[in-house]
């Protein structure tokens, strides 16, 4: 089988949706935080506990972990750690 050219591969991949965070959180309005508060935990703890669950709560937990990992301000505990002068 002949290998695909770069143009063929590019035409077969779906581009990442713009504003995917806004679309993913448009109906949330603090639901996950309210569930965490009701359980007496922080959102980070609640997300870690329920990230393996199936259904809506699992999806919300995984999204919450993803969004918490994107935080770049200050001394973040997120996924991305950038060294800066003065830190």
Burial of 6: CB neighbours in 10 Å, binned 0-12, 13-18, 19+: exposed
The pTM score is 0.61
The Cα–Cα gap between 15 and 59 comes to: 22
pLDDT tens for the chain, 87 residues long, are 567 777 777 677 777 777 888 888 888 788 999 999 999 999 999 999 999 999 999 999 999 999 888 866 655 555 555 555 555
> What is the phi/psi pair of residue 51, to 5°?
-70, -20
pLDDT value for 50: 94
pLDDT value for 15: 72
pLDDT value for 45: 94
pLDDT value for 1: 55
């Amino acid at each position: 089988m002949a290998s695909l050219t770069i143009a063929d591969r590019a035409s077969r991949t779906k581009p990442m949706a713009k504003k995917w965070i806004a679309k993913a959180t448009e109906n949330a309005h603090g639901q996950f935080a309210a569930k965490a508060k009701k359980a007496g935990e922080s959102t980070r703890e609640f997300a870690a506990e329920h990230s393996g669950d199936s259904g809506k709560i699992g999806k919300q937990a995984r999204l919450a972990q993803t969004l918490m990992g994107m935080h770049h301000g200050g001394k973040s505990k997120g996924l991305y750690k950038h060294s800066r002068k003065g830190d």
